[in-house]
Amino acid sequence: MFCIEYKGALVYYQISGTPSLFPPLLLLHGFLEDSRMWDGMISSLESRGLVVRVDLPGHGKSGCFDSTHTMEEMAATVFAIIKHLEIHKPIILGHSMGGYVALAYAQNYTQIGGLGLFFSTPYADSAARQMMRERSEKLVTYHKESFIRAAITQLFSKNLRPIYADKISQQIEYSLEISMKGIIAAIRGIKIRSDKTNILDQPPHALSPNKIGVFVGQTDTIIPFEKTKEWIALPGIGFNFISLHGHMGHISDTLNCTNAVIKWWSMFKKN
């Protein structure tokens, strides 16, 4: 892995594949994940072009630089990596929290060629959800391992848990590597994020026309499909993929999700 320094912390990333007619693809993981979440999809992606996978602050090998990692600050670290690599207008795809970071990036930077929300949402937390985040922060403080084991398991619907027991266990082991400080900083940042629906409704110039893709799940246990249907047809969205699975489609629906990402990515391919 490679790294840059941002506000005194080292932020790590992986880079694979080679430049091609496909623009660079930059992948952002979700909460309690790291760049390894893309392992099941990476061989198909890197065979088509340059792929950068980031460990967001406080996750994976990346350090913390504050007690709260806002989505805007995380987006700033992404911009720092893009600037360091001298990448021109990457296609940015974010899973869950990574989608929140991608939206913050699109709001603040023009150096973007496409935006993808991978089992994510433009909505801010509801009041009830914010209260849940506060309870989660307390639980992490005193029972980090119990919190992680429960949180990762709940990302899968009950019928899929026995089928993907090994994958769930592996993700739990990865998540246990994350420091308490990193988890809490992310929880605080997620809790205070703002609504970004306007980006999907009236995209910035860099994402017009039709440069936004969304990948959603009908059985998502974290982002209910009924809520997703409220925004999935907004005018700025040029591509959508609906999986029969849920929040962890990269694990439970790997082939279909990979093919969908490639299909979306190919929309930006140079002629």
Record the pTM: 0.97
For residue 144 the two structure tokens come to 């980090």
DSSP bridge partners of 214: 117, 240
Rounded distance between C-alpha atoms, residue 268 and residue 271, angstroms: 9
205 within domain boundaries: yes
Alpha carbon of 96 to those of 47, 72, 132, 217: distances in Å? 25, 15, 17, 12
185 within domain boundaries: yes
pLDDT at 271: 65
pLDDT in tens, 205-237: 999 999 999 999 999 999 999 999 999 999 999
Chain-centroid distance, C-alpha 7:
22
Q: What is the DSSP letter of 126?
A: P
Is the separation of the CB atoms in 238 and 264 below 8 Å?
A: no
115 within domain boundaries: yes
pLDDT at 215: 98
For residue 16 the two structure tokens come to 């694979």
pLDDT at 270: 82
Chain-centroid distance, C-alpha 219:
18
Is the separation of the CB atoms in 245 and 222 below 8 Å?
A: no
254 within domain boundaries: yes
For residue 151 the two structure tokens come to 């949180």
**CATH number of the domain that residue 250 is part of:** 3.40.50.1820
Residue with tokens 């990865």: 174
**Segments of the chain scoring below 50 in pLDDT:** none
Rounded distance between C-alpha atoms, residue 56 and residue 73, angstroms: 10
Is the separation of the CB atoms in 10 and 63 below 8 Å?
A: yes
Domain residues for 39?
2-266
Number of domains in the chain: 1
